[in-house]
Structure 1
């Protein structure tokens, strides 16, 4: 039988080796003699705070004894949340994820601990300790997978939002898994969940799913909005949990559906949805937050009405679009990239010379990839627009014999789609490169081949190799 060392024995050995009395060590560790004595003799369990003091006093790195702490005080012991809770927080601070994983795996056989672990996970999430929180949410979700509880659904929602990142292939799996849990959430929280889900599908250009989720969100939001404005309604209290005013979810659903039909080339239907979210006379609230969102929808509608006409072939509205861009206030870099993308798509589709217009966006083109995600839209949809803009710019320049500019934007787009793990659009970029490869410089060709090799090696590492010999 393997003997498990103890922190107590390690401390006792250190005291003898250094010739320190309990009192002397207590002074070094800022602990009284009685506390040190109780720990050495095993008469008192050790707290994580005491462990950290002892570790520092022994000149060891933070968290040095954490694995032993789990062995000595958690594994095969009745779970004591007064000891476990501060230990989990310290593990999160020190990025000791394996230690958190061991603790969660040990105590989650008992569902009684789910509420407390969920509470700790929520606090860690609020502190920005996403990876640590993820482990707790996964532990609770696994323990409650047969319970059909609202807490299980919330865990799956948190897991979804934490896992969504650059890899679009992984994002699709996360969205598909989470979608089945949306209905188990609180009716109000479902709205934000559906909004986030729709934006992930939007970034993946899964237009059928975007429309499906958007229409569900609209129906649910309308129900809640009508309930809120019923006489003597108490609904206003629950809507405070939302990240947006309640009416926004109705209008945002229309905006999403407009985007779906625009992507599918049905500009007439796209305009009908755009007119819908432009007309907000039905909104009853008049507070400052509501007016802010109404202004945003009007701003988006004005631009998108012009864009739909432009993309449908009405070239004469291009000047209207430029005037709109010039007159728009508080335009973000994300807005400018999307505006440029709309112009370049139209230019490529209808063979319009927009070189002078592109020059006006030069500063924004240089900083294409420098954006700070603040929500699911800016985290997921905007990076896809940036990569797409790079591809359209490359198409524009290469077909006009501006090869240096064309290949520069094409390489940016390829690198972006590699990061996003979007194979379809990465292959589109490869095809465009190969079509114009005879015009590429040796350096550009070398960069292209190096990138392809890196992608190939990544796939080999991810998927392994198949030995077909014999």
Structure 2
């Protein structure tokens, strides 16, 4: 635990209250890095901290003593987030039955004592997250019968459509389901997603492109897959190195199916990237160190 929480990332672990927010910060960082094992460790630590503080608050109330809570969010948020983070990591590791247990844990936090208006709002948010994530967990685990209900859920909650389509494409690839009708159904929305600029939605959009590209390869639509890979790579200034490497590897695996025009486009993208590298000179097709 100390290696995860008290290394170079730990900049202000001063009190338990600070530790709560530091855990949230580290969890977001590890999510971006896909460090699922670390997330399990940090989530357990966050839960232990939140539970201890909840018990302390309960004891103070029973003795009619004030209990000063100084974190950025209500205590119920940290309690629920510890379950959400662990459930998500377990899901990413393919441990769907265990993930489901944790989703159910944050699906109903109304028993949490001492909730104020903001606290109740957090309870409702976690209830909504749990509903969405149960669909996701069921689909990824192969319970495809919930797909029509999930699609209705996405239509009723348009803010969930983009991450929802990521789940649908990943499910389609994992379980060889044809979802062309859904891609057509949401085609106008999908076109709009390419114009989103905030970091979270860009991340969802790139994941959607990746899983859609994989989906096309599973259905032997290789040139369609290559075209999506190129669409991703043209956004290189907005993507992280890990995602870039995944798409480059995907292109190289399916390079044999690319058209001459697609290969030329790929080479031009690579040349454009190399222009920004120090010590490398490009002249026509000749690339050399300076």
For 1:34, the equivalent position in structure 2 comes to none
Equivalents in 2 of 1:419, 1:177: separation in Å?
26
Q: Number of paired residues?
A: 273
TM-score, L = length of structure 1: 0.53
Q: Could you say if the C-alpha distance between residues 260 and 411 of structure 1 is closer, same or farther in structure 2, counting changes exceeding 3 Å?
A: same
Q: Given the alignment, which residue of 159, 177, 182 partners 2:8?
A: 177
Q: Could you say if the C-alpha distance between residues 393 and 177 of structure 1 is closer, same or farther in structure 2, counting changes exceeding 3 Å?
A: same
Work out which structure has the larger RCO, using CA pairs closer than 8 Å and 6 or more positions apart in sequence. 2
Partner secondary structure for residue 235 of structure 1: coil
For 2:226, the equivalent position in structure 1 comes to 407
Structural RMSD (CA) = 2.8
Larger radius of gyration: 1
For 1:235, the equivalent position in structure 2 comes to 67
For 1:393, the equivalent position in structure 2 comes to 212
Equivalents in 2 of 1:217, 1:415: separation in Å?
39
Q: Given the alignment, which residue of 76, 101, 105 partners 1:276?
A: 105
Matched, 1:306 2:125: no
Matched, 1:212 2:41: yes
Q: Given the alignment, which residue of 439, 445, 451 partners 2:269?
A: 451
The Cα of 1:319 is off from its aligned counterpart by: 1.6
- Give a deviation string over 1:80-102, Cα, whole Å, max 9, x none: xxxxxxxxxxxxxxxxxxxxxxx
Equivalents in 2 of 1:413, 1:259: separation in Å?
25
For 1:191, the equivalent position in structure 2 comes to 20
Equivalents in 1 of 2:164, 2:235: separation in Å?
19
Unaligned segments of structure 2, at least 5 residues: 1-5, 281-287
For 2:198, the equivalent position in structure 1 comes to 372
Partner secondary structure for residue 178 of structure 1: coil
Matched, 1:345 2:170: yes
Q: Given the alignment, which residue of 248, 264, 267 partners 2:96?
A: 267
Partner secondary structure for residue 265 of structure 1: coil
Equivalents in 1 of 2:265, 2:107: separation in Å?
46
Q: Could you say if the C-alpha distance between residues 412 and 210 of structure 1 is closer, same or farther in structure 2, counting changes exceeding 3 Å?
A: farther
Q: Could you say if the C-alpha distance between residues 403 and 200 of structure 1 is closer, same or farther in structure 2, counting changes exceeding 3 Å?
A: same
Equivalents in 2 of 1:434, 1:270: separation in Å?
34
For 1:163, the equivalent position in structure 2 comes to none
For 1:327, the equivalent position in structure 2 comes to 156
- Give a deviation string over 1:52-101, Cα, whole Å, max 9, x none: xxxxxxxxxxxxxxxxxxxxxxxxxxxxxxxxxxxxxxxxxxxxxxxxxx
Unaligned segments of structure 1, at least 5 residues: 1-174
Equivalents in 2 of 1:314, 1:281: separation in Å?
29
The Cα of 1:225 is off from its aligned counterpart by: 2.4
Moved more, 395-404 or 305-314: 395-404
